[in-house]
Amino acid sequence: MDTRGKALELSKEAVKLLLSFGTELDELYRKFRELRVLEDEPSFRSALLNVEHGFFMTVQSLNILREQLRLLEVASKKEVPY
């Protein structure tokens, strides 16, 4: 069963969702960063920095997923050896 068409369709849908989610995630990250810069208490500033790191790691994971979706598109264009 050739699932290339359906996979490409899902891939395009996923990329759109990732871009939308990434924009919202970036805005939240910016707000936490702003709070950290304004915070005076060192241990709470450290906790905010840890949250920033969590956002960074999430964005890295989203970038990896986006790259894998691109590779899926490339793979779908290869000839099937039948």
Q: Specify if 3 maps to a domain.
A: no
Q: Specify if 79 maps to a domain.
A: no
Confidence of residue 62 (pLDDT cuts 50, 70, 90): very high
Q: Specify if 81 maps to a domain.
A: no
Q: Specify if 62 maps to a domain.
A: yes
pTM of the model: 0.80
Structure tokens at 47: 């906790």
Task: Spell out a b/e string for 37-51, using b for 16 or more CB atoms within 10 Å of the CB, else e.
Answer: eeeeeeeeeeebeee
- Domain that includes residue 50, residue range: 9-74
Q: Specify if 47 maps to a domain.
A: yes
Q: Specify if 80 maps to a domain.
A: no
Q: Specify if 37 maps to a domain.
A: yes
Cβ atoms of residues 72 and 7 within 8 Å: yes
Q: What's the rounded Cα separation, in Å, for the pair 48 and 39?
A: 9
Give the total number of structural domains in the chain: 1
pLDDT on residue 64: 95
Q: Specify if 13 maps to a domain.
A: yes
- CA distances to 23, 37, 41 from 50, rounded to whole Å, are 20, 13, 14
Question: Per-residue pLDDT averaged across 20-37, rounded?
Answer: 94
Asked whether residue 57 carries a pLDDT value surpassing 70, the answer given is yes
